[in-house]
Chains A and B, each alone.
Chain A
Amino acid sequence: MKHDKRHDLSQYPLRLEGDNVPMVRFQNVTKRYGSLTVLDGLNLDVAEGEMVTIIGPSGSGKTTVLRMLMTLETIDSGVIYVDGEPLTHMEKNGRLVRANAAHLRLIRSKIGMCFQHFNLFPHMTALGNCIEGPMQVLGLSKQEAEERALELLDLVGMADKRDQHPSRLSGGQQQRVAIARALAMRPKVMLFDEVTSALDPEVISEVTGVIRGLVDQHNLTMLMVTHQIGFAREISDRICLFFDGKIEEQGSPEMLLDNPQNERTQQFLSAVLEAN
């Protein structure tokens, strides 16, 4: 796109330095699908160890934020930084240029993601799903990978189902295996995209319980999209409310949920609370 050729990258730092380097920074990030601008100049920092929840109406761009960070989508302008390094770009001759595949792989290794529909590999057992990345990507031996996987399957309460294929597991069980699979790669940042939306109400707590446990791991940074306002209030350090590809309002759960400043925030919250 012409617009992007002119897009001036010199205003973006080659890397983030100093005392308060965020784990994730979206700097002026724009994403379009054709003529539809899904995210418009997004600025968002997530500190190391912080749990940030994104809420907002359907179609407001919440999923897109996570997918860009996971490199499942390219961005049209702006720069995303992870752990101080540019993710979407890389340094070449003292300037930022678009990241190549090798650079993406390097930085992507710091990020893990769980999906709304789990996306477990159906041809592998629960354990097989969890050792796949460590063995094929990190080069762990089978024994090392299994040790690591079993520890995590135990953490999510799925150790006894290690030999089951996903088709034999309930939705809640599948999502817990998916969380273990992502954690087995030892990411610094975990992304959760509506991980309870496809679940029956009675098993949602299986999954939220696991995520709640992860919050206590102080080095894990988390970015979560959810419609469960109560859960978000309970575990988030900060909640961002998205509207039309922009952050409409953000703040601590108490600030945002109990004392929203913005009229659209108030409307959205009352609509969601009514639906619950």
Chain B
Amino acid sequence: MPYLDFLMTYSSRFIDGTLITLGQFGLAALVAIVAALISGLMKMAHSKTMRAIAIIYIEIFRGTSLLVQLYWFYFVLPLFGFTLEKFTVGFLTVGLCYGAYGAELVRGAIQSVPRGQWEAALALNMSPAKRMQRIILPQALVAILPPWGNLMIEILKGTALVALISVADLMFETRQVNNNTYLSAQAFGTALIIYYIFARFMVTPIMRWLERVMARKIGRT
């Protein structure tokens, strides 16, 4: 079967899968941002309990494999009476996993803001929350964007694992097509190209654009 015919025949499956993958990616990225921000801030908190919770989260999710985490959330949690939709398990687990990596980036970015900025904000009598929100985080954001771009690509690639808990993402659909047709080169080749296009022509340019916008906002152009 010529490749064009192959594409025409199975395009709807690839499109369906791609949409699911994009959904998984967007939601996982959101979860990762929130988890990284919260745990990164908690890791810098005065309270020992807060720090301990953050460290436990980071250690567990960074120290174990994403695939095991997916299985755990999908197959083991229901045994404790916790059943989640597989789509939800997918993006939640991927997000939490990469959020644990992001926590270190958040902490590093916050610590990269010069001490003098904290001190100037304190001299204006700003509350700790205002100092963080108005002075430190906007500057930390500029520092975190380049490494965060890499993490976003990791998240996109990481979502391929949700196929293994039967979320009908791009990888899942590709495997189905392959099982039906035995056209492995065409099937997996197509998936490869789609993942690459999204990473290279969507995620990276958007992150670069964000970097430029933030750099301009901070007056560093």
Seen from chain A, the residues whose Cβ lies within 8 Å of a Cβ on chain B are: 70-72, 105, 108-109, 111-113, 115, 117, 119-123, 125, 132-133, 136-137, 164-168, 178, 181-182, 185
Contact = CB atoms under 8 A, between A and B. Distances in A.
A72 B130 CA distance: 17
B117 A167 contact: no
A243 to B, nearest CB: 26
B109 to A, nearest CB: 14
A182 B123 contact: yes
B27 interface: no
By size class, the interface of chain B is 20 to 34
B122 A121 contact: no
B180 interface: no
A167 B220 contact: yes
B23 interface: no
23 contacts: A70-B122, A71-B122, A72-B123, A105-B127, A108-B122, A109-B125, A113-B123, A115-B119, A115-B120, A119-B117, A121-B121, A122-B219, A123-B138, A123-B142, A132-B124, A133-B126, A136-B134, A137-B124, A137-B127, A137-B130, A165-B218, A165-B219, A167-B220
A168 B123 CA distance: 23
Contact of A121 (B117, B125, B130, B142): B117
Contact of A168 (B117, B134, B142, B219): B219
Nearest to A71: B122
Contacts of B218: 122-123, 165, 167
A123 B219 contact: yes
Interface of B: 114, 116-117, 119-127, 130, 134-135, 138-139, 142, 217-220
Contacts of B127: 105, 137
Nearest to B133: A136
Nearest to A111: B123
Contacts of B119: 70, 72, 115, 119
B123 A132 contact: no
Residue among B117, B123, B142 with most chain A CB within 10 A: B123
B217 to A, nearest CB: 6
A132 B117 CA distance: 13
A119 B116 contact: yes
Nearest to A107: B125
Contacts of A168: 219
Given A122-B218, A123-B218, A166-B219, A132 B134 contact: yes
A178 B123 CA distance: 11
